[in-house]
Amino acid sequence: MFSSYLPYQIEYTEWKVSSDVVQNWNAIDFDDSAWRTTKASEIGTNEKVTLYIRKEVNIPDIETYHALNVRMKYAGGVAAYFNGRLVARFNLEEYFDENSLSLTLHDANTFSRFHVLMSVVQAVTGKNIMAFEVHQPVGQSSSNPVVFDATGVFGVNECSVLVDSVVETSTSGVNGAVELAMIALDPSNSGYLDNVVGSFYTWTVENLEGSRFNSFAMQIPYGRTGLGFSLYVRNDNTEDYTSSLEQLDQSLAEKSRNRWAVPVGVAGFRELRYMVDAAASGTVYISSFVLEYCKPSGSGICPGIDEYPAVGEGEISPAGCEMYYSGYSYRVCTNGQLGEIQMDKCKQKLPKNLAYSYYMFTFVVGTNVKTEPPTYDNIIERFYLGEGQELPVGLTLDEKTGVISGIPTEAKIMLGYTIYGENQSGVTSITINIGVNIGKCPPVDKFPETIVGETAVYECSNDGSYIGSLKKTCMLGEKDGEWAATKGFCMKTYVLYIIIGVVVVIFVIVIIIVVTKKKSNATPPMKSTGSVKPTTSKKSLSKKSSAKTTAVKV
């Protein structure tokens, strides 16, 4: 039974909308008074990739309202939140942001369905918030109107039926009904699997966050006994199945919904498989497989903590694992209280989408090189090269970060190298190409491409009546060859002749000036007069006079 109270309804409800994302935009206490209020059909276009939408949901009594089933239309990708917790994701990559486009183009006339368990989103009596972020369809522009609308209806039974849209089914063979009828919640139809061990029916829900439930039921038109079956769950086909339910020697009541508790289902799983483990007393006709949420009852109930719901004494209260892990975590209800979180059922998700910034790297001998760390989804604990491969001499692969770095010392032709990234669950890989070249300087002006360490010479005579030469040396730079400054010059031949002429003229002028100056500074010759006696004669006479004087006696 569903409640007649619809917290929001297609074509009637007014939503709060905004193009700008801010922190905690999907929380209960966020102030959206500045956001635009409009019906979904009147939203119009959105200039940005993502539109943010909020709606207040008032719950009259949280003890009565257990699950919210949602029916929604859209054309791009959608993420849905209740009280700030992600509860659904459609047509949108796992690690999305405000710039993420949808994975594909979704049919706007096809409705998707999902549900929210009130016990795992901290729903309260009174004000709660349902929020959506609607992402632009891939291949479309922002000029197209935003497609979105939704209806919500509460389940109020002790065991409330949960709805999910299904995108894929597989089976060992369904008889008497099409495959989807097995999960269509239509009691007027029925089909059956072969009553043999190993017969199975598998379905995958559209909600990429999975379906949360704590009860599995089968609507049966005819009673049977002795049935043995299991219900297996997982999130995608890269994981092993987890057995969430194993039952033997079961009696099925006719025209009834026969149900079994599946506590681990609250953790949320995308793919479910029903498998026959023991043949029943006769063919088991099934009108529908049903997922439910049953409110805990009886004495010894442990109150829920955060996303871990209330459960009965001795039961486990499951929830999802940390980011990058699949499986489920859980607390055990003991003496009226939930115990510590147990993580032994969590395992690392497979690494995937390993990528470097480029698929081809060309390095230069003698330069210090370093790639950006590769990007990837989930966890990678170790990087390594393919068997028998070695990077060019001088380069190394950091096994923790995946960064390739070093100083290559030898030239090497471009080759492919496979790099693996592994964690505890598996491995992913990517092939990139790496080559090492001798450094070169690119052609510039009159100089051709030149290898590092060499000097390019340009003869000026190549330009006609010129003399001289220009020289430019290619030096090793930070990433490749870099040109040094140009040396030398080119000169027109007639200019040289003029210069030579000028030099000759200047030289002649200088010679003339020097000669003239020497002539002007020379002493004129002396003429003889007869009255002047040579100095030498005078000295001679003085000596004679002196001698004569010393001969006189007194």
Task: Please indicate, yes or no, if residue 7 is contained in any of the structural domains.
Answer: no
Nearest Cα neighbor of 351 from 369, 320, 375 is 375
Return the pLDDT at 182: 62
CB 204 within 8 A of CB 169: yes
Task: Please indicate, yes or no, if residue 47 is contained in any of the structural domains.
Answer: yes
Task: Please indicate, yes or no, if residue 324 is contained in any of the structural domains.
Answer: no
d(CA 488, CA 465): 17
Same domain? For 397 and 478 the reply is no
- CB contact set of 436 (below 8 Å; sequence gap of 6+): 362, 363, 364, 365, 392, 408, 410, 411, 412
CATH code, domain carrying 22: 2.60.120.260
Task: Please indicate, yes or no, if residue 543 is contained in any of the structural domains.
Answer: no
Return the pLDDT at 543: 42
Return the pLDDT at 341: 96
Which residue, of 455, 477, 492, is where some domain finishes? 492
Residue by residue, DSSP assigns 231-275 as EEEESSTTSPPEEEEEEEEEEE-TTEEEEEE-GGGGG-BSEEEEE
d(CA 382, CA 402): 8
- Domain residues for the domain of 56 are 14-156
d(CA 132, CA 533): 136
Same domain? For 18 and 152 the reply is yes
Residue corresponding to tokens 């368990």: 117
Return the pLDDT at 540: 42
Tokens, residue 208: 């990429």
Q: How many folded domains does the chain comprise?
A: 4
Same domain? For 39 and 135 the reply is yes
Same domain? For 184 and 234 the reply is yes
Which residue, of 402, 437, 472, is where some domain finishes? 437
Distances in Å between the Cα of 212 and the Cα atoms of 228, 293, 305, 321, 370 are 24, 8, 17, 14, 46
Nearest Cα neighbor of 214 from 316, 303, 63 is 316
| Single-letter amino acid, residue 491 | M
Tokens, residue 305: 């903590």
Q: Which residues pair with 215 in a beta bridge?
A: 261, 292
- CB contact set of 178 (below 8 Å; sequence gap of 6+): 191
Task: Please indicate, yes or no, if residue 191 is contained in any of the structural domains.
Answer: yes
Task: Please indicate, yes or no, if residue 412 is contained in any of the structural domains.
Answer: yes
**Burial of 123 per CB tally in 10 Å (0-12, 13-18, 19+):** buried
DSSP classification of residue 177: S
Return the pLDDT at 492: 82
Same domain? For 34 and 137 the reply is yes
Same domain? For 139 and 171 the reply is no
Same domain? For 417 and 360 the reply is yes
Nearest Cα neighbor of 55 from 6, 104, 15 is 15
Return the pLDDT at 173: 79
State phi, psi for 36 to the nearest 5 degrees.
-75, 140
Which residue, of 437, 472, 506, is where some domain finishes? 437
Q: What is the pTM for the complete model shown?
A: 0.76
CB 439 within 8 A of CB 365: yes
Return the pLDDT at 78: 98
d(CA 320, CA 328): 5
Same domain? For 136 and 252 the reply is no
Same domain? For 403 and 475 the reply is no
Same domain? For 141 and 20 the reply is yes
Return the pLDDT at 101: 96
337 C-beta neighbours (distance < 10 Å), count: 11
Task: Please indicate, yes or no, if residue 275 is contained in any of the structural domains.
Answer: yes
Return the pLDDT at 219: 92
Q: Residue 348: which H helix or E strand, with range?
A: strand 346-348
Residue by residue, DSSP assigns 272-288 as EEEEEEE--SS--EESE
Question: pLDDT digit of tens for each residue in the chain (554 aa)?
Answer: 566 788 999 999 999 999 998 999 999 999 999 999 999 999 999 999 999 999 999 999 999 999 999 999 999 999 999 999 999 999 999 999 999 999 999 999 999 999 999 999 999 999 999 999 999 999 998 899 999 999 999 999 999 999 999 999 999 877 765 555 566 677 777 888 999 999 999 999 999 999 999 999 999 999 999 999 999 999 988 888 999 999 999 999 999 999 999 999 999 999 999 999 999 999 999 989 999 999 987 778 899 998 899 998 889 999 989 999 998 999 999 999 999 999 999 999 999 999 999 999 999 999 999 999 999 999 999 999 999 999 999 999 999 999 999 999 999 999 999 999 999 999 999 999 999 999 999 999 889 999 999 999 999 988 888 888 999 999 999 999 999 999 998 888 777 678 777 888 888 888 888 888 887 776 555 555 554 444 444 444 444 444 443 333 33
478 C-beta neighbours (distance < 10 Å), count: 9
Same domain? For 25 and 150 the reply is yes
CB 359 within 8 A of CB 433: yes
CATH code, domain carrying 421: 2.60.40.10
Residue corresponding to tokens 């147990």: 342
Task: Please indicate, yes or no, if residue 521 is contained in any of the structural domains.
Answer: no
d(CA 114, CA 152): 10
Q: Which residues pair with 233 in a beta bridge?
A: 242, 272
CB 135 within 8 A of CB 148: no
Same domain? For 424 and 448 the reply is no
CATH code, domain carrying 485: 4.10.1240
